[in-house]
Amino acid sequence: MSPTEIVRAPDVRAISLISSAGRAAIGLGLLTAPKPALRALGFSETTSATVTVGRIAGVRDLVLGLVTLAALENPQRLRLATFANAAADAGDALTFALAMGTEERTAGSRGIAAALPAALAGVWVAWRLS
């Protein structure tokens, strides 16, 4: 199967679209409405510091999602974008795992439940594109 055919394969296409659209939506939510977004993610308190960090994460996710959407037709660019997403998701999973030992257990468990499968799906898509 050629790289162009792999990019258009239903599994690769679906995971790439869902991942990038979801990431962009989460990023937009964290950027524009950080307090409700942080509460939805399971954080018990929002302070000016958590709002700021939430917005930083929101910009990161929005950019990663849009870059992935823009790369959907180019196998090499999509592979790089997918690796970047998987790395960010793996870092998020680790961060949420560390939160499990704090008062933010709910955020930790919700975050792991989302970030770990996303990281694994990203690695799988990148592998398919190699």
What pLDDT score was predicted for residue 5? 85
Specify the number of domains making up the chain.
1
Q: Residue 32: how many CB atoms within 10 A of its CB?
A: 12
CA-based end-to-end distance of the chain: 11
Of 50, 60, 127, the residue nearest 88 (C-alpha): 60
Residue numbers of the chain with a pLDDT score lower than 50 = none
What pLDDT score was predicted for residue 1? 78
For 62, counting Cβ atoms within 10 Å of its Cβ (0-12 exposed, 13-18 middle, 19+ buried), the class is: buried
> Domain residues for 14?
3-128
